[in-house]
Structure 1
Amino acid sequence: MPVLQFASFASLVQPTFWHELTRLKLEVLRLSDDHIPVTATYSVGKTIKDRNTGQEIELGLGKSRAVRVAGGSQHAFIVGAPGIVKNFNTVEEFKDADKKALFNQFAEEMWEAMVKNNDPSVLNKFLLITFADLKKYKYHYWFAFPAFAAQPLWEIDSEWSSATTAFTNAQLSILHDKLAAQSLPYFLIRRSGSNVEIASVDEYGDFYADTPEESRAVGFIDPSPHPSTPGWPLRNLLAYLRANNPSTTRYIQVLCWRDTEIPHGGSHWKSTFGVVIGGQTQGKPNAVGWEKNPQGKLGPRLADLAPMMDPSRLADQAVDLNLKLMRWRILPSLDLDKIASTRCLLLGAGTLGCYVARTLMGWGVRTITLVDSGRVSFSNPVRQPLFEFEDCLDGGKPKAECAAARLQKIFPGVNATGHTLSIPMPGHPVPPQSVEGVKEAVAKLEALISEHDAVFLLMDSRESRWLPTVIGAAKGKIVMNAALGFDTFLVMRHGARQPSADGTRLGCYYCNDIVAPADSLTDRTLDQMCTVTRPGLASIASSTAVELLMSLVQHPDGIHAAPPPPGKEPEEADNGVLGVVPHQIRGYLRQFRNHPIVGAAFSKCTGCSETVLKEYEAKGFDMMLRAFNEVGYLEAMTGLDKLYQEGEEALEAVDWEEEGEEDF
C-alpha cells in the first residue's frame, strides 16, 4: 500500500502582523524575550476545474493551504491556529539561536498536552521566531509547524476518492450544516442510517462506545486542495488518535473536508475520503516541521515592508523611535502620549523659534503653531534653521508661515501652522485709526493662547512679552520664556496663577522689575536692533526651554511642580520622570555655567499680579488699550508708582556724610 503523503503548510503573513509586532516590541516587550501568543487561520483548500483539460487546479499558488498570521475573523470552515512568537533582540541572536532545542521543547509540550491532557486544541499549534529590524522595517522570521512522524509510516488503503463513495449526498449536506454551526477543526463522525452525527475528537471513547467500526470516521478541515494529498493537520490528528486509542485506531476512515458550500444539485463534492492504516503505537514519534524558504531550503525568510509603506507612515513611526527606545532602559514611565498631545504656541519664529520648533518635533510634539510679524531676510538662514536662501527673495516670505511649511516638509505628520501677527505692546501708542485692527490682533492672540497648552515667549523685545504673559496667566496656560544676551541666556517657566499646596507662587518674567515694560525699540542703533549673541547660544537656550517644558509636563504636579531649593540638592520625592523642574535657568556661556534660580511672585507685578489679571478679566481690551497708550498706567494700577516714590523718599531721608580733604 502507498505511504500516506501530506501537503505541508505554507505561511502567509499579512503586513498588519508586522505593524503590530513593531508596536509590541517598542511599547510592551522592549528588551524582554518573553513569548507572545498569536493566532493564525487557515481555511479549506480550493480548486477550480480547467475547462480545456478538465483537471482541478489549485487556487492561489498554494496559498489556499496557507496559515495566515493576523488573518481574518473566525467564520465557518476557517480554523484558528494558536501559536507563539519568540522575538530576538539582535539579528545575531536570531541566527545563533539553537533552533533544534527550541523546536524539540515546543514539540514536547505539544505531545504532553495531546497525550497526558487529551487536548486536541494544540494539534495545529505553531512556533514563529523573529527578529524585527525597526530602523529598516525588515523582519527576519521562520515558522515551525510541528507534526509527529509515525514509525512505521501511515499507509493509504487504495487511494483517496470522492467523499460520495462513503457518504450519501444527504449525509454530506447534514455534515456541512453541522460543521458550519460548530466550527470544529477536527471531528468524529458517526453514521446511523441516513443520518450522521459529529463530536469533538476528545470525546472518542464515549462517542463511539456502541458504534461499530464501519460506522466510524474522523474528519478535519483540510487546507490542502490536492486530490491525493491531505493537508498537514491530518498528521497530528492521526498521531493524537493513535496514542490515545491504540486498540481501535489501526484502521481509520478519514474524511478530508473541503466544501464551504453545498454543491448545486448535491453532487460534485470536493471533500475526499480514504482509509489509513498503521501508525506508531508506542513512545513519542519524532517531530518535523520547520518551513522551507522560497529557495526550497530549510532557512528563515525576510519580509521587507519599507518599499510597500507610505513614506509618511514610515516617518511617523520612525520619528518616535528614539523616544520609545528611551523607555526601554532609562525612562520606563515616560508618557509619550502626553507629550505628543501637548499643543505648543511659539510667539516668535526667529532664531529661538526655529530651534524650539525643531526640538519640540524631536520630542514628538504633533501640534506646533508659530506667530511672527516679520519676513525672512538674508541674514536669517544661517542662524535660523527653518529658512533657506530662496525664502529671502522678493522681499522675503512671511516668517511664521514659511517656518510652519518647512516643519511639515521635514515631517509631514506634524500639525504646523503659521500666523502673521503683530503683538501690541505697552509704550507703543495705538493711533485712533488703528484701534480696530489692534483689537482684532488681540482677539486672535487670545484665541490662539486658548487653543494651546503651552506658550513660548521667544520675541526680541521685553515689552512684546507683556500681553501674552497677562493672557497666559489669566487662562492658566503653561508659559515658557527664553531671552538672550550676548553670551548669557534666561530660560524660565512662569508660575501658576493659583498657589501650590504650600502657599507659594512662582514669579513671571516681570516679577523682578519695579518698572512697567515700555518702548525699548525706538532710537536704536543697528547692533541694538539685531539680537547680537554668540551663534551657539540660541540653540542652547531653545533646547533648555523645551527640556524644561518636557520635565514640567511629565511631573505629577504639572504646572504646580516645585523647583529644587536654591543651593541644596533636590529631594528625590521632588523629582519628576525627567528629574527636577527648575523655575529659572540663567546660563553664562563665558564660564560655561548654568545657575538654577527661584523667584517668588511679586504682588505688584505688571504681568501676573492679581490686580492686573482681574482688571484684564473685567475690562478686556479697554484695559489693554490704556496700557498701550498711557505712560504710567500699569505702575499706577499695581502700586509700583507709590513703591518707587517711597524708595525715593527713603533715599532722600538718609543723612549722607561727605568726607572732607582732612580725612585723607
Structure 2
Amino acid sequence: MTIIQFTPFSSLVEPNFWHALTNLKIDVLRLSDESVPITGYYSPGRSIVDRETGNEIPLGCNINIPGDALTNDIQVPAHSVPASGLFKNYNTIEEFKEADKTALFNGLSQEIWDSIAKGSTASLNRFLLITFADLKKYKYFYWFSFPAFVSKPAWEVEDDWKPARTEFSDETLTEIHKLSSSRPSPFFLVRAIGEKTEIASVEEYGSFFKDVPLSSVHPSATPSNPGWPLRNLLTYLRHHHPSDVSQGLRILCWRDSEPSHNDQWKSRFGIAKVNGDATKEKPAAVGWEKNVQGKLGPRMADLAPMMDPTRHVLADQAVDLNLKLMRWRILPSLDLDKIASTKCLLLGAGTLGCYVSRTLMGWGVRKITFVDSARVSFSNPVRQPLFEFEDCLNGGKPKAACAAERLKKIFPGVDSAGYNLSIPMPGHPIPPQSVEQVKKDVAHLEKLFDEHDVIFLLMDSRESRWLPTVLGAAKGKIVLNAALGFDTFLVMRHGVRASLSKGTRLGCYYCNDIVAPADSLTDRTLDQMCTVTRPGLASIASSTAVELLASLLQHPDGVHAPAPKATSSKDQTDSQDSGSVLGLIPHQLRGFLAEFRNMPITGAAYDRCTGCSETVITAYETQGFDMLLKAFNETGYLEALTGLDKLYSEGEAALENVDWEIDDDEEGEL
C-alpha cells in the first residue's frame, strides 16, 4: 500500500479577469467588500513530450480563472468542468493584509462539509479568492484557497496507480469519453456491462450503481499523484459509505480530453483504502495556495507593463478612473458614456484650444478635431501647453496638426486630427483668384460640422466667429464660445435657431450687436495683434467652457436646455431644479479675475441678429456659398439682409423728431 499524495491546485488567472475586476470595482462594488460569486474551471491533466529525451513532462494541476469568471454566463471550454467559489475584494492593502483569513477559510470549508453531510457533491470544488486592486498602479494582490479535507489515517492505494487500460477495454474508455463529454461533470460513476457503458452521478452510489468505479475529471498529469478534487470526493465517500472505503474504492482518474488513437490512454486507475471509522465530525482542512517563492502568502499581478493604450483596454480604464470614481462616490446618475461619445470640433488651436482639448480629455472625450491656419511661434509654448520649443523651429509647425499629434502622445487612445484651414470672415473681401479655394475651405468646414456634435469657437477675432455661428445654427449643433479680455472672459452657449426652439430662445455671440461683424484685424498695434491677458485667464475660461458642455450634456433636453431663472439670487445658485446632475446650465458666464467673481447672464435672441436670425440662416440654406461670399465682400450686406439698416434709419428719424425743449433755468445752468 502506498500513501496517496495529492497534487494541489495552482491558479491560472487570465489578464482579462483583472480588467473585469476593475470594471466591477468601479461600476458595481465601489466601496463594498461583500463576497460575490466567482466561477473557474479545470481540465483533464496534460503533459508534453520533451523532444530531446522523449520523456513526458506533466503540466501543472491548474484551475483557470477566465475573464468572464465574475459573470453568470461563463463559457467553460469543452472537456472542462466548472468550479464555483467566493470572491472578496478589499478596499485597502491594509484591509487585505489584516483580513481574518482563517475565518474566511473555515466558513467555506464548513459550507463544503455541510454539503457533504446532506449527501451532495455540488460543493466539493468550492474555492475562495481574496484580492486588493491597486487601480492607480494596476497591481493586483490576490490569494486563492482550495479547501480540502485531511484524512486521518491517510488514504492509501494498492500497488500504486496503473494505466486505465488495465481495468477497462479501449472500447469502454472510448464510450466513457463520449458519455462524459456529453454530460460534463467533475465526478461520475461508470458501469460497463458487456458492450454497454453507463455513467451516473456519485449520489447514486449505494443504490443503482453500487460498487462500480468512481471517476473524477483529473487535473493532475502526474501519473502517481491524483489531483486535488479527489480529496473531497473521498471524504464524501468515507462519510456516507464507510464499509466500502475500508474494503477499497475503485477510482478512475479521468485525464483524457481526446480519445486515444494509439491506445495511449492517459487516465489512471487505482483502488483507494483508508482504515478507521467513518467521518462524523468535520475533518481539518488545508488549501491556501503558495506564492511563487513556495511560501504561504499572496501573489501579485502587475499589469502596468501591459498598458499599451493602442492595444489594451486597461489603459483606457486608467485614464477614465477619476471619472468613474466621481460617479460612484458622488454622482451615481452621471452619464459618462454620453460625454465620452461626444465629438468635438475646436476652431482655434491657440491658448484656448490647447486648454479646452486637455479638459475635454479629462472628461473622457475621445474625438477631438482642431482647425487653425497659424503656425507655432516662439511666444506660444509657455502659454499653450500642447506645444514645445522645437515646434517653433524652421518657421513653426502648423498649429492644428501639431496640437492633434501632441494629444495622441499624451494618450494614444484619443482620436485626434488637425486641419490647416482658414475661416473666411465678413469685412475681409475675397480676391477673385481665391474664390475657388475659399469655396473648398467652406465646404470642408461644413463637412467637419456635419461630423461633430459640439463646436467650440476659440478664435482671436470677433468676425472669425460669424461663419461658424451661422453653420452651427443651421445644422443644430451645440456651439460654445469663449473670448478673453485682459482680466475678464466670456463663456456662452448659443441658442438654437427659431424654427427649432422649444421655448424662450437664447441668443448667440452677435445677438447684442446692432452692427454686423467687420474687419477688426487691419492696422492693429502689437498689443492688439496678441491677446494680452493675465496668464491664468485662458485656462479658467477654457475649463469653464468644457464644464458648461458637461452640464449641458447631462440635461435631458441637451442643446434645448433652458437657462436658469434670474428672479432672485437663490434661483441663480440653486441647482436642484436645473435638470442636470452637474448643476446649473447658464447661458453666459462673464468672469472678472480682478474680483475673482463670475456673473451668470441670460440673453434673449434677437430676430435681426446677423449670426443666428432665421433670415440669415434661411439665406444661407437657400443660396449657399453665394450668400456667404456677399457677406464676406459687401459692406452693409448683412445689415440690409436682417433689417438693421432700417433700424438705423428709424432711430435717426426718431431722434430728429424729438422736440428738445430747454427751460430757462436749465439753460442758465448749462
The TM-score bracket by the shorter chain reads: over 0.9
Q: Is the 8 A contact 2:245 2:272 kept in 1?
A: no
Query: 1:247, CA displacement in angstroms?
Result: 5.2
Matched residue, 1:151: 152
The 8 Å contact of residues 148 and 287 in structure 1, kept in 2 or not, is answered as: yes
SS at 2:160 equivalent: strand
In structure 1, stretches of 5+ residues that fail to align are none
1:107 aligns with 2:113: no
Structure 1 window deviating more from structure 2 (649-658 vs 79-88): it is: 649-658
Distance in 2 between residues matched to 1:298 and 1:412, nearest whole Å: 40
2:225 maps to a residue whose letter is T
Residue 651 of structure 2 is aligned to residue 647 of structure 1: yes
TM-superposed CA distance for 1:278, in Å, is: 3.8
Contact 2:575 2:584 in 1 (8 A): no
Which residue does 1:234 correspond to in 2?
230
In structure 2, the partner of 1:491 is 491
- Native 8 Å contact 1:169 1:267 kept in 2: no
Letter matched to residue 366 of structure 2: R
Q: How does 1:118-137 map to 2 (within 5 A)?
A: 118-137=119-138
Q: Report what 1:67 is aligned to.
A: 63
1:12 deviates by 1.5
Deviation at 1:503, TM superposition (A): 2.2
TM-aligned CA deviation for residue 310 of structure 1: 2.5
Partners of 2:330 and 2:381 in 1: CA distance: 36
Compared CA separation, residues 625 and 231, structure 1 to 2 (3 A): same
Check 1:647–1:200 CA distance in 2 against 1; reply closer, same or farther (3 A cut): same
Distance 1:470 1:661 in 2: 50
Give 2:581's aligned residue: 577
Deviates more, 1:459-468 or 1:650-659: 650-659
Deviations 1:100-153 (A, max 9, x none): 00111112222223332x332221121100111111121110000011223343
Q: Is contact 1:227–1:272 with CA below 8 Å preserved after alignment?
A: no
The answer to whether the Cα contact below 8 Å between 1:155 and 1:278 also exists between their aligned partners in 2 is no
C-alpha distance 50-534 of structure 1, shift in aligned 2 (>3 A): closer
**% identical aligned pairs:** 65
Equivalent residues of 2:495, 2:507 under 8 A apart: yes
TM-score (norm 2): 0.93
Contact 1:259 1:271 in 2 (8 A): no
Distance 1:315 1:228 in 2: 45
Match of 1:178 in 2: 179
Tell me which residue corresponds to 2:213. 217
Matching residue of 2:93: 91
SS at match of 1:259: coil
Question: Structure 1 residues 316, 264: CA separation in 2 closer, same or farther (over 3 Å shift)?
Answer: closer
1:205 CA displacement:
4.3
Distance 1:586 1:93 in 2: 48
Q: CA deviation at 1:4?
A: 2.7
8 Å CA contact 2:250, 2:269 repeated in 1: no
Higher mean alpha-carbon deviation, 450-459 vs 121-130, is at 121-130
* Aligned residue identity for 1:155: E
One of 655, 658, 668 as aligned partner of 1:662: 668
Pairing 1:252–2:249 present: yes
Structure 1 counterpart SS, 2:122: helix
SS in 1 for 2:443: helix
For residue 463 of structure 1, report the CA deviation from its aligned partner.
0.8
RMSD of aligned alpha carbons: 2.2
Q: How does 1:409-558 map to 2 (within 5 A)?
A: 409-497=409-497, 503-558=503-558
Change beyond 3 A, Cα 1:146–1:601: same
Higher mean alpha-carbon deviation, 587-596 vs 23-32, is at 23-32
Aligned to 1:262: 259
Of stretches 307-316 and 152-161 in structure 1, the one that deviates more from structure 2 is: 307-316
* AA matched with 1:294: V
**Counterpart of 1:405?**
405
The AA in structure 2 aligned to 1:478 is I
CA contact (8 A) 1:366 1:415 kept: yes
* 1:302-341 alignment, distance < 5 Å: 302-310=300-308, 312=310, 313=312, 315-341=315-341
Q: After alignment, is 31-40 or 282-291 more displaced?
A: 31-40
The 1-side partners of 2:141 and 2:651 are apart by 77
**TM superposition score normalised by structure 1:** 0.94
Could you give the per-residue CA deviations for residues 386-419 of structure 1, whole angstroms, max 9, x where no partner exists? 1111111222111111111111111111111111
CA deviations 1:467-512 (Å, max 9, x no partner) are: 0000100000000000111111000000122578862111111111
* Corresponding residue for residue 142 of structure 1: 143
| Separation of aligned partners in 2, 1:228 and 1:41 | 23
Please say if residues 12 and 68 of structure 1, whose CA atoms lie closer than 8 Å, have aligned partners that are also in contact: yes
Question: Residues 265 and 510 of structure 1: is their aligned pair in 2 closer, same or farther, counting only changes over 3 Å?
Answer: closer
In the alignment, the residues of structure 1 paired with residue 261 and residue 508 of structure 2 have an alpha-carbon distance, to the nearest angstrom, of 83
Matched position secondary structure for 2:158: strand
Question: For residues 243 and 657 of structure 1, do their structure 2 counterparts lie closer, same or farther at Cα, with a shift above 3 Å needed?
Answer: farther
Q: CA deviation at 1:422?
A: 1.0
Whichever residue aligns with residue 89 of structure 1, its letter is N
Give the 3-state SS of the residue equivalent to 1:651 in structure 2.
Answer: helix
Structure 2 counterpart SS, 1:84: strand
Q: Deviations over 1:607-641 (max 9, x none)?
A: 11111111111111111111111111111111111
- Superposition deviation, residue 355 in structure 1: 0.9
Alignment correspondent of 1:276 = 273
SS in 2 for 1:122: coil
After superposition, the Cα gap between the structure-2 partners of 1:3 and 1:622, relative to the gap in structure 1 and judged at 3 Å, is same
Aligned to 2:71: none
| Secondary structure, counterpart of 1:345 in structure 2 | strand
The match for 1:586 is 590
- Which amino acid is 2:101 matched to? K
Could you report, residue by residue, the CA deviation over 1:180-212 in whole angstroms, capped at 9, with x for unpaired residues?
22222100122324543210112334423xx5x
CA shift, 1:268, in A, is 5.3
**Aligned-pair distance for 1:587?**
0.4
Distance 1:439 1:10, change over 3 A: same
Residue pair 2:488, 2:592 contacting (<8 A) in 1 also: yes
Range that drifts further, 326-335 or 68-77: 68-77
Contact 1:161–1:274 (8 Å) recurs in 2: no
Please say if residues 309 and 411 of structure 2, whose CA atoms lie closer than 8 Å, have aligned partners that are also in contact: no
**Which has the higher mean CA deviation after the structures are superposed, 264-273 or 231-240?**
264-273
Matched with 1:605 is 609
Query: In the alignment, is the contact (CA less than 8 A) between 2:556 and 2:579 conserved in 1?
Result: no
The one-letter amino acid of 2:512's match is: N
Q: Is the 8 A contact 2:167 2:269 kept in 1?
A: no
Aligned-partner SS, 1:121: coil
Report how far residue 45 of structure 1 moved: 1.7
More moved, 521-530 vs 231-240? 521-530
- Give the Cα–Cα distance (whole angstroms) in 1 for the partners of residues 51 and 504 of structure 2: 88
Give the Cα–Cα distance (whole angstroms) in 2 for the partners of residues 662 and 160 of structure 1: 128
- Determine helix, strand or coil for the equivalent of 2:81: strand
Aligned AA (1:579): G
- SS of 2:95 mapped into structure 1: helix
CA distance in structure 2 between the partners assigned to 1:74 and 1:535 by the alignment = 59
CA distance in 2, matches of 1:393, 1:32: 54
What SS class does the counterpart of residue 442 from structure 1 fall into?
helix
The equivalent position to 2:292 in structure 1, one of 291, 294, 297, is 294
Evaluate the alpha carbon distance shift between residue 475 and residue 160 of structure 1 in structure 2; reply closer, same or farther with a 3 A threshold: same
